[in-house]
Structure 1
Amino acid sequence: MGAAYDGRVTVSLDDLPLRDDLRGLRPYGAPQAPLPVALNVNENTHPVPESVASDILDDIAVALRDVNRYPDREFTTLREGFAAYLGHNLQAENIWAGNGSNEVLQHILQAFAGPGRTAFGFGPTYSMYPLLTQGTGARWISGVRDSDYSLTADDAAAQVRAADADVIILCAPNNPTGTPLGLDVVEAVYEAARGIVIVDEAYQEFAPRESPSALTLLPGRPRLAISRTMSKAFAFAGARVGYLAADPAFIDALRLVRLPYHLSALTQAAAVAALRNAPTMLSMVDEIVEQRDRISATLEALGYTPHESWSNFVLFGGVTDPAATWRALYDRGVLIRDVGIPGHLRVTAGTEAETTAFLDALASIGSAA
């Protein structure tokens, strides 16, 4: 009989037979700290409205009665709800979902990338794209943006042709910069690419209402997928629900790699109830946009350089010492994000009170040099 394990670490990661392509990598991680004002991971800091929370709890209570059984593997009701929410004549067969949009993207990479293949995106962009790519055994290729982080159709298409990647990921609006992406760029990239093109619209609800979604480009483009999330506009980050729209054949490819019953019955019930209350859930978007624009205007008045943002956050430059500014804000109870872009920091647009706390704290540090 062996001795009981005492919990002590006896080896390092380097001592384990890890895949060679994973050695030296770091897992995704944003600082988590119990500060009064946390504006670092682009959450919707508004709580779910009480009436909606009660409705969601009612649906979860019903789902619990059958939790001894596996959930609907095809999450049919939820897919119908997403199709109705997105519009554009989409049907349930056009929809896929997962435990957060990261899992949805992982499914795509598992199906269309993998060992010996490549994925491409324009940096700086969402830091999970390379990690997801490498996790599936594929190689990440980073393109470049203009100095204002924008992309033109001609330049984007030229870079895509040169990279010749199996999967192209376009973040629109882009994270961490907030930069909008024109549909002409998406069209040009699709024509230049031989593989899959993903448009990650995690922040689409915060864009101007008259701005068209890449969903309008889906007809006749079977290699195109539009990814969304409930984490941001729906204030559902803790529920972990992401989804996409694509050609039904594209959806069939994702079934080949998903785990059985990957969306729990409780997740499905909560998401269906949230979608049923979409107008109420989305009523906070206008307030978030108002605070985002307030942040940009005040940052400029303080001497910083806020970049155009169609998201729920603002990237701002002109920060002489980002690490020192980040720490000074931290010491004042405000957590924002250093995304690794020299001279820049990023802040999420929170409630009016949280925004005020951030702006007051930043002003107390002193204006930008």
Structure 2
Amino acid sequence: MTADRTAQDHPSSQSSFPQPRPEVESLHAYSAPLEGRRPMLRLDFNENTIGPSPQVVEALRAIPADQIAIYPEYDGLREAVITNLNLPLQPEQVGLFNGVDAAIHAIFHAYGDRGETLLTTSPTFGYYTPCAQMQGMAIQAIPYEGAAFAFPLEPIRHALNANPRLLLICNPNNPTGTRLAPQQILALAAAAPQTLVVVDELYEAFTGDSVLPLADFSSLPNLLVLRSLAKTAGLAGLRIGFAIGHAAVVDRISRVTGPYDINSFAVTAAFAALKDQAYVDGYVAEVIEARTWMAEQLRVAGVRHHVEGGNYLLVWPQRDPAEVDQELRAAGILVRAMTGKPLIDGSLRVSIGTREQMRRFWDAYQTIEALRT
């Protein structure tokens, strides 16, 4: 009783505020982009580096003022996604979310519970871990294999025998670019009907390895695919993503989100972006060309690197990576240090933009690395 009175008498003490769940208290939040990035060459978070289609900008500018005052409406957006994918899906098989991050969060809220297991790979997208931790889940992260960071297919198959609650596969994987063939993903889902197999396809456009064209959700209701308009269509700032799968699973995930999580501007932009697929295709083609060019420069210069899929690659500086990171920043170029990441500690992840943008990065990188004596 004395301790309680002491806490009340000293509201600034740590014990005076309402305590969260133990999982939240020990949680380390995902590291989001730093502020002040806009005037710089942003090669740190795998964003579209040139902006969205002019049709998107025009559609946003045409939004009437009274539309801002009302709650958003989503009529037709699911159908627009299906038309863009050109797949035999029903609208109830498409979930709408405030970015794929919100979809991932909702998946864990709907399906993750204390004591259950998330099965995934390592290293992979960092947001999976805090989402699992906040639900009190155990995390089984199986390392990629060898110098090429091959997908650990057999260890994953073996781990599925224990019926983990969730299997999360980033394909291609961020940050290693590792790719797993769609047929192999379908086989994993078929072998583990009690496990929700989630395939994060944010970077699929840069490789063409989507599981969606082959997926039969009526026979594989435990398969869920995530898509976004952030990396390709340039809508990262508006936050809109999709979860595609069996209608019952999409419904359960949607139940744990707010009724108006996606704002009207994002909806308008999504409609416009989905209609202008030619713009997206052109940007993706330019990134792939720049990725090939960048990999060749690194190879000729003898720089250790790894590139396989996605709009990014890994480089290992000869100098201290933190110093190279800071000197690139001083030159107006942002990259992402992989400090502490298993298997790739000491590397920098470099997002791929246009050929001109990659020339700027390469010129700065060569100069900085040549400073070593």
Q: TM-score, normalised by structure 2?
A: 0.86
1:210-249 superposed matches below 5 A: 211-219=209-217, 220-249=219-248
1:11–1:300 distance in 2 versus 1, CA, 3 Å = farther
The answer for the alignment partner of 1:151 in structure 2 is 151
Separation of aligned partners in 2, 1:91 and 1:126: 29
Separation of aligned partners in 2, 1:251 and 1:317: 40
Deviations 1:40-81 (A, max 9, x none): 0001111223344113432x33xx434444333xx2311111
Separation of aligned partners in 1, 2:213 and 2:250: 15
Contact 2:53/2:276 (CA < 8 Å) preserved in 1? no
Deviation of 1:32 after TM superposition, in Å, equals 3.8
SS in 1 for 2:366: helix
The answer for the alignment partner of 1:357 in structure 2 is 360
Gaps of 5+ in 2: 1-10
Contact 2:204/2:310 (CA < 8 Å) preserved in 1? yes
The answer for the alignment partner of 1:344 in structure 2 is 347
Deviations 1:276-295 (A, max 9, x none): 22222332111111111222
Mean Cα displacement is larger for which, 302-311 or 175-184?
A: 302-311
Deviations 1:16-35 (A, max 9, x none): 61322223432222334446
The answer for the alignment partner of 2:94 in structure 1 is 95
Gaps of 5+ in 1: 1-8
1:186–1:14 distance in 2 versus 1, CA, 3 Å = farther
1:334–1:264 distance in 2 versus 1, CA, 3 Å = closer
Separation of aligned partners in 1, 2:188 and 2:84: 27
The answer for the alignment partner of 1:41 in structure 2 is 45
1:100–1:212 distance in 2 versus 1, CA, 3 Å = closer
1:87–1:55 distance in 2 versus 1, CA, 3 Å = same
1:134-283 superposed matches below 5 A: 134-147=133-146, 148-162=148-162, 164-193=163-192, 194-208=194-208, 211-219=209-217, 220-283=219-282
1:319–1:161 distance in 2 versus 1, CA, 3 Å = farther
Separation of aligned partners in 2, 1:130 and 1:218: 29
Separation of aligned partners in 1, 2:227 and 2:134: 21
1:248–1:297 distance in 2 versus 1, CA, 3 Å = same
Separation of aligned partners in 2, 1:185 and 1:108: 22
1:321–1:136 distance in 2 versus 1, CA, 3 Å = same
1:11–1:82 distance in 2 versus 1, CA, 3 Å = farther
The answer for the alignment partner of 1:18 in structure 2 is 20
1:265–1:342 distance in 2 versus 1, CA, 3 Å = closer
Identity of counterpart residues, as a percentage? 27
Mean Cα displacement is larger for which, 34-43 or 313-322?
A: 313-322
Deviations 1:81-132 (A, max 9, x none): 1111112212212101111001111111111113332222101000000112
Separation of aligned partners in 2, 1:279 and 1:248: 29
Contact 1:97/1:242 (CA < 8 Å) preserved in 2? yes
- Give the RMSD, CA atoms, in angstroms: 2.5
